[in-house]
Amino acid sequence: MEIEGRGAIVVGGASGLGEASARALHARGAVVTIADVNAEKGQALATELGVEFAACDVRDEDQVRAAVEHAAAHADGGLRIAICCAGTGWAQKLAGSRGPHDLLPFETIVAINLIGTFNVLRFAAGAMIATEPLADGERGVCVNTASIAAFDGQVGQIAYAASKGGVVGMTLPAARDLAQYGVRVCTIAPGLFDTPLLAALPEEARQKLGAGVPFPQRLGAPAEYGLLACQIVENPMLNGETIRLDGALRMPPR
């Protein structure tokens, strides 16, 4: 699908991988709506780029529906591209000397990372189905965000790995569900990226993490995620696939 002139929503678009995706789409001429729970940062980025903003907590289906409707209404031809980068993490072992894993943080991580992605996917797909097909029969593309933790979950990552594994698990059946409508679904599973989460670490720790990546021996740049998201949109044969974006990294147990 050509990106120029297409309606796009980036959920979790105020910072990190989402911000990079919003910038990449905007640079290629998409009509972008940034949706994020952080209204201050999201609106600031939207103002900088001259695009739309919609406040959105992915756990709230009404807010997700409204954000998708906002994006669809502000682009000729409706919504064609949806990228979901909303997510967060939690570190706690399944059980240990302090007892079993707390239920609330597990539920919260699953609610944001997995159910939130499902909410974006279902409402975005519904909006795309309502559009007229393009010349090749395609109506839209959905790109989700998992993590290599879905495959290489480390000690203390049980909640995060479970949520991201669920995103991977949804990808193929979602693509099959939507194939008859010309809507594609893919997932990106990033490795270690230079996002605000890692920015809080000391520089020495960041350098050590980057050195563990086989090649290139550094943290991934958010712009590289945005590039792949755009390449997925542009390549019509990418469908139902989860793509690791990790420099050949395989995470050790800890």
Concatenating the DSSP letter of every residue in 21-36 gives: HHHHHHHTT-EEEEEE
CA distance 254 to 252: 5
Closest CA to 164 of 135, 188, 185, 182: 188
Question: What is the predicted pLDDT for the residue at 205?
Answer: 79
Question: What is the predicted pLDDT for the residue at 209?
Answer: 87
Q: What is the set of domains in the chain, with CATH numbers?
A: 7-242 (3.40.50.720)
What is the value of pTM for the model shown? 0.96
Q: What are the catalytic residues?
A: 160
pLDDT in tens, 45-90: 999 999 999 999 999 999 999 999 999 999 999 999 999 999 999 9
How many other C-beta atoms can be found within 10 angstroms of the C-beta atom of residue 97? 5
Query: How far is CA 145 from its chain centroid?
Result: 3
pLDDT in tens, 215-225: 999 999 999 99
Low-confidence ranges of the chain (pLDDT < 50): none
